[in-house]
């Protein structure tokens, strides 16, 4: 493929990107309530976009440069599936004692078992409810707190402005002082619940975008 063809494809993709962003701007100006488009987050499966793009265009956007996630290793999948059928807390406690993984040579299995031990202990001591009416152990995303308080200073009267807290999520993935991801959980498999829509489709993408922005500044 010659350079002219490469340049043509590059320009074509740039035009397509601008066209998508223009329609995102139209939707963002139309909606009075918050939508992911206000944060430049595009979700092709959102029904709102059917008024702006054809189904073929949405499919083309959805399949453009897909990210391939690595498959779960067989040994880790086998360990997690070994808990299948264990329905009582006594069965879970007995089963988790059957393995003793080495944190150096079996890091993945060690992490999985440690997570299961932590969760079952929370449930055993009534710190983990069986419903999502109350949530415990929520972690605060530090990157959002840093971004919101970057310009924190005293006001005109010399008083220190109140510190703004970051978004709270169920799990923050970090190494050292850097955060690489976060997660929200739900006790329901129904994708249409208010919690799934608000946290999975709006809050999480915005938080992950802030995480990515913060990481790019650290590079």
Q: What value does the mean pLDDT take over residues 160-183? A: 74
Quick check: 162 pLDDT over 70?
no
Domain enclosing residue 37, as ranges: 3-62
| In a shared domain, residues 139 and 211 | yes
| In a shared domain, residues 27 and 43 | yes
Nearest residue to 169 (alpha-carbon basis) of 207, 209, 198, 197:
207
Alpha-carbon span 141 to 149, nearest angstrom:
13
The verdict on pTM exceeding 0.75 is: no
Quick check: 100 pLDDT over 50?
yes
Number of independent structural domains in the chain: 3
Looking at per-residue confidence, does 123 or 79 come out higher?
79
| In a shared domain, residues 110 and 147 | no
Within 8 A by CB and 6+ apart from 43, the residues are 36, 49, 201, 205
């Amino acid at each position: 493929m010659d350079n002219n063809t490469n340049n043509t494809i590059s320009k074509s993709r740039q035009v397509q990107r601008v066209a998508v962003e223009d329609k995102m701007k139209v939707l963002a100006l139309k909606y009075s309530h918050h939508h992911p488009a206000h944060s430049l987050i595009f979700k092709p499966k959102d029904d709102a976009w059917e008024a702006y793009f054809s189904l073929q265009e949405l499919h083309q956007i959805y399949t453009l440069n897909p990210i391939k996630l690595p498959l779960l290793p067989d040994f880790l999948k086998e360990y997690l599936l070994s808990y299948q059928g264990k329905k009582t807390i006594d069965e879970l406690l007995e089963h988790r004692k059957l393995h003793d993984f080495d944190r150096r040579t079996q890091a993945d299995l060690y992490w999985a078992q440690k997570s299961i031990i932590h969760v079952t202990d929370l449930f055993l001591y009534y710190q983990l409810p069986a419903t999502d009416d109350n949530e415990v152990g929520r972690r605060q995303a530090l990157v959002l707190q840093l971004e919101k308080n970057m310009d924190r200073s005293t006001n005109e009267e010399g008083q220190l402005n109140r510190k703004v807290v970051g978004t709270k999520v169920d799990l923050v993935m970090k190494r050292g002082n850097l955060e690489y991801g976060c997660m929200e959980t739900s006790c329901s498999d129904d994708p249409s619940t208010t919690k799934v829509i608000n946290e999975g489709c709006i809050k999480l993408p915005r938080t992950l975008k802030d995480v990515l922005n913060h990481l790019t500044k650290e590079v």
